[in-house]
């Protein structure tokens, strides 16, 4: 038996595959387009008997169908997505192409594959679609956190494209009886994250004493989830989740962006001191806020906790410290990403 992961060379996909290989004997086939944020080197150390890479697009129906027929996986885990909000504001087309049309073609390939699969192979099959809390929109400071029943209200081209993909997954379950599972996670952090996102950008800029740009007043609140906790939660959903249902995955760690940036500055001053240049917090620069910037995200993970027994294993302070240490110890990876 094996599983097929799409978008596995990206940040969350990389950590999921590495976690899977550590915790399961089942091989992983990774289908990845290897765009700017996909890095095949993240997984190059995994043995060929446990891991294989297919370079390709989830929007290529024939390629996906051939991969399914060849490897006959018991599950598809779909990470493939354009995910950076700023890029979606500047150029929404790619987000529609990958997140909406790509998911549609992937679902069609899975539907065709299952149409030719009978018996236990079909009965055991699962399609796990990995999505985001941003589909729910924005919360006021004292509103209750998002639940699985919160109405969708996406506010950016990125979140709208992910909302559309979620709806297609739901529709294919109800219309075609596809055995789907959906997860909506909060902001992830940890190793291998592409340095356009907040935490790695601040670590690398701060390390090199470059400006630390903070949108607006920096009081936007996010719920932070360590990526390895996310990977563990996804394994639980795949193993024990109820077909057709959605599970919100959160870290129980709501933090204002400015507080996160200041914590990174303090860690860099401790772990990579440079007394001549002074504290990194002096590098913080408030810049014009992002268009349509959501004020607060917060996820209520009660369902996955109650039904599947998941709780985050990382508290934010220690998880952030480990993340800063990882970037400091992996400068060759950083340089390779920057050169790419």
Active-site positions read 133-134, 158
Helix (H, G, I), strand (E, B) or coil at 269: helix
Pairing of strands 221-226, 254-256: antiparallel
Q: Which residues contact 80 (CB under 8 A, 6 or more apart)?
A: 6, 7, 10, 13, 31, 32, 33, 58, 98, 102, 103, 106
What's the CA gap between 66 and 71, in Å, rounded?
A: 9
CB 30 within 8 A of CB 8: yes
Nearest to 113 by CA among 64, 79, 159, 146: 64
232: Cα separation from own chain's centroid: 13
Structure tokens that stand for 262 in this block: 């200041």
What's the CA gap between 255 and 80, in Å, rounded?
A: 27
């Amino acid at each position: 038996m094996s599983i097929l992961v799409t978008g596995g060379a990206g940040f969350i996909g990389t950590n999921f595959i590495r976690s899977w290989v550590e915790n399961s004997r089942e091989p992983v086939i990774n289908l990845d387009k290897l765009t700017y944020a996909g890095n095949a080197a993240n997984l190059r150390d995994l043995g060929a008997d446990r891991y294989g890479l297919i370079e390709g697009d989830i929007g290529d129906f024939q390629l996906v169908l051939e991969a399914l027929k060849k490897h006959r996986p018991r599950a598809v885990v779909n990470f493939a997505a354009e995910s950076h909000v700023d890029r979606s504001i500047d150029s929404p087309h790619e987000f529609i192409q990958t997140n909406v049309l790509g998911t549609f073609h992937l679902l069609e390939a899975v539907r065709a594959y299952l149409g030719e699969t009978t018996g236990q192979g079909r009965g055991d099959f699962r399609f796990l679609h990995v999505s985001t809390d941003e589909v729910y929109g924005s919360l006021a400071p004292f509103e209750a956190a998002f639940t699985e029943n919160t109405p969708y209200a996406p506010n950016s081209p990125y979140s709208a494209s992910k909302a559309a993909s979620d709806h297609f997954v739901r529709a294919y379950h109800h219309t075609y009886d596809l055995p789907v599972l959906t997860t909506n996670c909060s902001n992830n952090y940890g190793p291998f994250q592409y340095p356009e996102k907040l935490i790695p950008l601040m670590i690398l800029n701060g390390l090199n004493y470059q400006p630390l740009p903070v949108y607006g007043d920096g009081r936007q609140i996010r719920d932070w989830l360590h990526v390895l906790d996310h990977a563990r939660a996804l394994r639980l959903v795949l193993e024990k989740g109820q077909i057709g249902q959605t599970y919100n995955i959160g870290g129980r760690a709501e933090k204002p962006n400015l507080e996160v940036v200041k914590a990174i500055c303090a860690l860099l001053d401790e772990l990579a001191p440079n007394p001549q240049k002074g504290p990194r917090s002096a590098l913080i620069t408030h810049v014009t806020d992002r268009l349509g910037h959501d004020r607060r995200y917060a996820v209520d993970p009660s369902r996955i906790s109650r039904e599947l027994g998941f709780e985050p294993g990382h508290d934010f302070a220690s998880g952030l410290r480990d993340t800063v240490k990882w970037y400091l110890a992996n400068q060759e990876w950083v340089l390779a990403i920057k050169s790419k």
